[in-house]
Amino acid sequence: MDTVTQPSKKNYAERKAELKQAQRKAAKPLLWIGIVSIVMLFAGFTSAYVVRANNGNWLIFQLPDIAIISTAIILTSSVTMFMAQMAIKKNNFVLTSLSLGITLILGICFFYTQYQGWHQLTAQGIYALGKGSNASGSFLYLIAFIHILHMIGGLIALSLSLTKTLLKKYSSADYLGIELTAIYWHFLDILWVYLFLFLYFYR
């Protein structure tokens, strides 16, 4: 009985390990596919923005001053995210945890500045919907809102990476989770800089 059961358990463990390895190999390509999809989505939004702006009845607005602070915050978060990547490669769990924690806090601060920016927009009379709204304002809120939704995914990924780091689930030999989180977070940062420059120069 034992001679039959033991190989069966071994085969199951081997299959499980092979499946896990296959999932790990597929994780990064799947992430890049997702990133390309997001790029296409925002390319579509900004193209539609340009087309609609050229059709007239377009309200010229000023971006909130706090948008510059948002940009500074998100660029700083990329630096701290990079620090976390470098630290885990050296098995420096304290610095990795600290860097991920700071990145998470900066991400939350970015949310707050976006919220304040929307208040500044409404103070200018720029509304997303309803009476007094204009297509320019609607596009602006839509683009910002969709970016925020993707940022929520980034914050969730950061929280998971931080938790696993604190539990020492990562090491210099295995830090795929942090690497994937970093790729996505850096992408979101670059995306915001693109959107900020686009909206700043094309209003």
Q: What is the pLDDT of residues 29-73, one digit of tens each?
A: 999 999 999 999 999 999 988 888 777 777 777 788 899 999 999
Exposure class string for 117-139: b at 16+ Cβ within 10 A, else e: bbeebeeeebebeeeeebbbbeb
Residue-level pLDDT at 87: 96
Residue-level pLDDT at 129: 74
Query: Mean pLDDT across the stretch 130-148?
Result: 81
Query: Mean pLDDT across the stretch 148-168?
Result: 95
Token representation of residue 119: 């208040």
Range with lowest mean pLDDT among 89-93, 109-113, 197-201:
197-201
The model's confidence at residue 5, banded by pLDDT at 50, 70 and 90, is low
Best CATH choice for the domain 30-201 from the list 1.20.120.80, 3.50.50.60, 1.20.1050.10, 2.40.50.100? 1.20.120.80
pLDDT at 130 over 70: no
Highest mean pLDDT range out of 3-7, 21-25, 34-38? 34-38
**Residue closest to 186 by CA, chosen among 77, 95, 101:** 77
Residue-level pLDDT at 141: 85
Query: Mean pLDDT across the stretch 77-95?
Result: 96
pLDDT at 19 over 70: no
140-148 LR contacts (CB < 8 Å, sep 24+): 140/61, 140/199, 142/45, 143/42, 143/45, 143/46, 143/49, 143/195, 143/199, 144/114, 144/117, 144/118, 144/195, 146/41, 146/42, 146/45, 147/42, 147/188, 147/191, 147/192, 147/195, 148/111, 148/114
Residue-level pLDDT at 8: 59
Query: Mean pLDDT across the stretch 111-125?
Result: 86
SS percent in the chain: helix, strand, coil, step 5: 80, 0, 20
**pTM for the whole structure:** 0.86
Residue-level pLDDT at 162: 96
Residue-level pLDDT at 10: 58
Is there a contact between 158 and 107 (Cβ–Cβ < 8 Å)? Answer: yes
Q: Which residues are CB-contacts of 97 (< 8 A; sequence separation ≥ 6)? A: 162, 165, 166
Sorted by where each begins, the domain ranges of the chain are 30-201
Residue-level pLDDT at 1: 47
pLDDT at 160 over 90: yes
